[in-house]
Amino acid sequence: MAMTTLEYDTLQAAFAVCKILLIDLNPRLNELQQIYDSVGGVKETLTQVEMDEIAALSGLTKQQVDDGLYTLTAVILPALTQNYPALSQLAARARGGAPTPTLSSTMMMR
């Protein structure tokens, strides 16, 4: 039975998303984790008072920031790292663009 266009397009989309996750998102999450969670980092120094002084942050609480950054650095980043081999296999099938990085090259960002 031949693959349908929908099935093929879904695979191509998954390949592209995996490549984005590994090339763009993974290194950014590593960097974010370093500057937010480190000793003396933003997690420890950012206050609600500071946030309230900036109009663009109006209505955002320190707890919301902590929860969101926790999700990025303690949930999504470890999931990317733990599932890197499977994601890398799919990313390698993506069309064009930069080659898929190796896990060791992205771990150097930590």
Domain of residue 59 covers: 10-107
pLDDT band at 16; cut points 50, 70, 90: very high
In a domain, 5, yes or no: no
* Count of the separate structural domains present in the chain: 1
When pLDDT is averaged across residues 60-79 and rounded to a whole number, the result is: 93
In a domain, 2, yes or no: no
pTM, rounded to two decimals: 0.73
Mark 65-80 as b/e (b = at least 16 C-beta within 10 Å): beeebeebbeeebeeb
In a domain, 33, yes or no: yes
Whether the Cβ atoms of residue 66 and residue 43 lie closer than 8 Å to each other: yes
